Amino acid sequence: MRAMVLKAVGAPLALEDLPLPTPGPGEVLLKVEACGVCRTDQHIADGELPPPRLPLVLGHQVVGRAVALGEGVEGVSLGQRLGAGWLGGACGTCKYCRRGQENLCRQAAFTGYHRDGGYAEYLVARAAFAYPLPEEWPPEALAPWLCAGLIGYRAYRLVQDRQVLGFYGFGAAAHLLLQVAKHQGKRVYAFVRPGDEAAKGFALELGAAWAGDSTEAPPEPLEGALLFAPVGALVPKALADTEPGGVVVLAGIHMSPIPEMPYRLLWEERVLRSVANLTREDARAFLEIAPQVPVRAAVETFPLEEANRALEALRQGRLRGAAVLLP
């Protein structure tokens, strides 16, 4: 099968012909229909998030069809459309797994990180960690749901009871979550890279109540803030934009250093917290609400072979919405 392989950190992915993987017990072989390109993939390729092994196939927003089942797989039929996301497996027995925090499991295996991912024609996923997806949608429309949507939704759930929200960084996750927030009657203010008029226009088109540079103050104090941009300098800014008792959620897996800040920005019971990975419960909840909204991803598709071009577009902030690879 063709795959785009990371062989060295900082090097472009290489197109290779790999043997077709075989599903082991509890696993399913998926023929990839589409795979989203995530900021995390870029962090792994660039070494900000060091890959646990090389060579490695990236990609954890995979829409595929089951074409072979390993021993003991139940509840999956051949030909069924399934999604494979970042959480590729968890131990099920540790204290985190037992208390509903499998996202923090120390034995968790992440797709496109510990397990080979979807920048390929096929991948093997654990059936218990693959999600049934709607059959009638085009695959490229669903791929961004699987990380931008799922992990974005985990972050969003932490501020869900708030009505006035700020989204910092208006990329793949923000443009999906804005649609959910609008559907739930919330007001969203979008902060973009200073001077990025295209991103402002995009946010306003999707229903943001206001869009401005990340250096600007919002029209009113925020009740909740979601930081999607991997920019530590935005942390004190988001706290300053947030009212007493407000929540600032850091949604990324990697962020540049957070600058020193005065305690008064955090005081008055503002809450600052990160989000790591996702649980299957987050996935279930998002996949239930997304078709109802319905969450429509703006995508730019690239042939699998052009994964490097897609990553470069992401690096340079040139994407409108999400990049998706089609094998």
**With respect to Zn ion, which residue has the nearer C-beta, 97 or 226?**
97
Burial classification of residue 298, based on how many CB atoms lie within 10 Å of its CB (0-12 exposed, 13-18 middle, 19 or more buried) = middle
> Which ranges of the chain does DSSP label H, i.e. alpha helix?
39-46, 95-98, 139-142, 148-157, 172-183, 197-205, 234-241, 280-289, 307-315
CB of residue 54 to Zn ion, shortest distance in Å: 19
- Residue with smaller CB distance to Zn ion, 211 or 311: 311
Nearer CB in complex with Zn ion: 147/239 = 147
Minimum CB distance to Zn ion smaller for 124 or for 147: 147
Cα–Cα distance list, 143 to 88, 114, 155 (Å): 15, 20, 19
Q: What is the DSSP string of 45-109?
A: HHTSS--SSSSEE----EEEEEEEE-TT--S--TT-EEEE-SEEE--SSSHHHHTT-GGG-TT-E
Nearer to Zn ion, 96 or 122 (CB): 96
Taking the CB of residue 127, how many other CB atoms lie within 10 A of it?
19
CB 269 within 8 A of CB 245: yes
Strands 27-37 and 109-110, by their bridges, are unpaired
Q: How far apart are CA 248 and CA 270, in angstroms?
A: 8
Residue 64 near residue 30 (C-beta atoms within 8 A)? yes
| Least gap, CB of 101 to Zn ion (angstroms) | 9
User: Which residue, 63 or 90, has its beta carbon nearer to Zn ion?
Assistant: 90
What is the β-pairing status of strands 222-227 and 242-250? parallel
Shortest CB 231 distance to Zn ion, Å: 17
Joined tokens for residue 166 = 């700020």
CB of 313 to Zn ion, least distance (A): 16
Closest CA to 149 of 123, 163, 131: 131
Q: Give min distance, CB of 139 to Zn ion, in A.
A: 17
Nearer to Zn ion, 76 or 91 (CB): 91
Instruction: Quote the least distance from Cβ 70 to Zn ion, whole Å.
Output: 21
Rank residues 33 and 223 by Cβ distance to Zn ion and give the closer one. 33
Three-state secondary-structure class, residue 141 = helix
From CA 201, how far away is CA 192, in angstroms rounded?
10
Q: How far is the CB of 131 from Zn ion (least distance, A)?
A: 15
Site of interaction with Zn ion (CB under 5 A): 38, 40, 90-91, 94, 97, 105, 147
Q: What are phi and psi of 281, to 5 degrees?
A: -70, -40
In the bound complex, what is the minimum distance in angstroms from residue 277's beta carbon to Zn ion?
10
